[in-house]
């Protein structure tokens, strides 16, 4: 964008210095922000997710989760991808290259950032209905926002997902139904 340099002269009496004239170089920058749509963190996260999902799907993978946060002196964009049979280093490199190029083209993260792409791991996060259906029968650790049956932390086997609720079979409380919107955190438990 070409830079427009203008000068605005202002008449004001300055008793300390005795100056009567001052100028402001390029005052238009003060008002330019009114016409620019600034992308907020939620806006950027949604757009990054959209880009990553599109690229992962085109490569036969799924975007499991995305983290976009400030860490240290810059931002970190973490993508967790998966596919049947698991992902390997080549898959992560391919997605990283394509997503990184698209983020640079759209300039979604104007400050310095690090792009990390990996598999979700053995203790993967469970965030969607499909996650709980896919991992039915596996052990999971679930933390809720509000207490359910006097507790907020549960460890048990995922029995399924019915009517917007996770059905979890615990050893000490029996079967517990946890509404998905009440889940603060849910992860698979590593079983060796």
Domains defined for the chain, CATH in brackets: 41-118 (3.30.300.70), 129-188 (2.30.30.180)
Asked if residues 94 and 132 have their Cβ atoms less than 8 Å apart, the reply is no
Closest by CA position to 61, among listed 99, 106, 115, 113:
99
What pTM value is reported for the model?
A: 0.68
Strand partners, 157: 139, 169
Q: Is 72 left (phi over 0), alpha (psi -120 to 50) or beta?
A: left
pLDDT tens across the length of the chain (192 residues): 444 444 444 444 544 455 444 444 444 444 444 444 445 555 888 999 999 999 999 999 999 999 988 888 788 999 999 998 889 999 999 999 999 999 999 888 888 889 999 999 888 899 888 889 989 999 999 999 999 888 999 999 999 899 889 999 988 888 999 999 999 999 999 877
Cα distances from 75 to residues 66, 98, 111, 114, 158, in angstroms, run: 13, 19, 7, 6, 35
């Amino acid at each position: 964008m070409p830079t427009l340099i203008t000068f605005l002269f202002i008449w004001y009496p300055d008793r300390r210095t005795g100056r009567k004239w001052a100028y402001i170089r390029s005052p238009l920058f003060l008002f330019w922000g009114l016409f620019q749509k600034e992308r907020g963190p939620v806006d950027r996260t949604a757009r990054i997710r959209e880009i990553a999902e599109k690229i992962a799907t085109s490569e036969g993978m799924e975007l499991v989760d995305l983290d976009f946060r400030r860490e240290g002196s810059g931002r970190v964009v973490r993508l967790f991808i998966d596919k049947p049979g698991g992902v390997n280093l080549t898959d992560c490199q391919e997605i990283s290259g394509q997503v990184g190029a698209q983020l640079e083209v759209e300039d979604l993260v104007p400050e310095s950032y690090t792009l990390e792409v990996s598999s979700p791991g053995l203790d993967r996060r469970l965030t969607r209905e499909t996650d709980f259906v896919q991992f039915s029968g596996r052990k999971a650790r679930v933390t809720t926002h509000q207490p359910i049956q006097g507790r907020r932390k549960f460890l048990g086997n995922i029995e399924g997902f019915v009517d917007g609720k996770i059905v979890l079979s615990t050893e000490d409380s029996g079967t517990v139904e946890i509404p998905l919107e009440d889940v603060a955190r849910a992860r698979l438990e590593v079983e060796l």
